[in-house]
Amino acid sequence: MRWGMVIDLKKCYGCNGCVIACKQEHFLPPGVFFNHVIMTEEGKFPNVKKLMYPTICNHCEDPVCVEVCPTGASYKREDGIVAIDNSKCTGCQYCIMACPYDQRTFINSANEPYYEQGKSSLELIGEKLYPFNNGTVAKCIFCMERIDEGLKNGLKPGIDREATPACVNTCYTDARYFGDLDDPDSIVSKLVRENQAFTLCPESGTGPSVYYFE
């Protein structure tokens, strides 16, 4: 089993709903984002085309971030998800330098509130659910807590939204698909085969689990 994501670039119009859904799902501190939407253009006036590239951690088959981590804080699960054990992270940032996709974030101010009056009740709840420590690294984890909880309750990730990453669940145009890349009959495997889907930075040789097609 290898969880992966496929993104249809024709459907993405840069609403940033995935960015906000991810931030809300994990109660991310100010200035911290796990999802990004890169907006660029190609061509010359008047034949100009606007391009949107949603980016997240690629959950690579051969993650260099795991290889360089001196404490074992960065690790790869059996289902292909690359995660971070916050309690083991010393903040050396080797993984940030090694990641060819620039998808890791150093947490400078985990306890900083969004408002001058202090933390809201929701922020306090988020502290308990997803604690972040100053001086550590964080990133997208494919919402593995949603996947694990869904599997425990008999749900199917990629089909049942409760067991699917928040960015996929909230995408208004259904540009994102999630499933098992090792299952030839899964929606993601079919989309990769049928649309000549590609990965970013293939020259890195890391084997990304996030694919794109247009």
Structure tokens at 93: 């940032």
Confidence of residue 69 (pLDDT cuts 50, 70, 90): very high
Q: How far apart are CA 138 and CA 71, in angstroms?
A: 15
> Using one digit for the tens of pLDDT, what is the confidence trace for 147-160?
999 999 999 998 89
Q: How far apart are CA 159 and CA 179, in angstroms?
A: 8
Confidence of residue 90 (pLDDT cuts 50, 70, 90): very high
More reliable by pLDDT, 47 or 75: 75
What pLDDT shows up at residue 59? 98
> Using one digit for the tens of pLDDT, what is the confidence trace for 19-51?
999 999 999 988 899 999 999 888 888 899 888
Pairing of β 136-138 and β 176-180: unpaired
> Using one digit for the tens of pLDDT, what is the confidence trace for 116-143?
888 888 888 888 888 888 999 999 999 9
What pLDDT shows up at residue 131? 83
What pLDDT shows up at residue 204? 93
**Helices assigned H by DSSP within the chain:** 17-25, 64-68, 94-98, 121-129, 144-152, 166-170, 187-194
SS3 assignment for 118-129: CCCHHHHHHHHH
Does residue 77 have a pLDDT over 90?
yes
DSSP state letters, 151-182? HHTT--TTTSGGGS-HHHHH-TT--EEEEETT
CATH class entry, domain 3-213: alpha beta
User: What number is the average pLDDT over the span 1-25?
Assistant: 95
pTM of the predicted model, to two decimals?
0.92
More reliable by pLDDT, 199 or 124: 199
Say if residues 73 and 84 touch (Cβ distance below 8 Å). Answer: yes
What pLDDT shows up at residue 168? 96
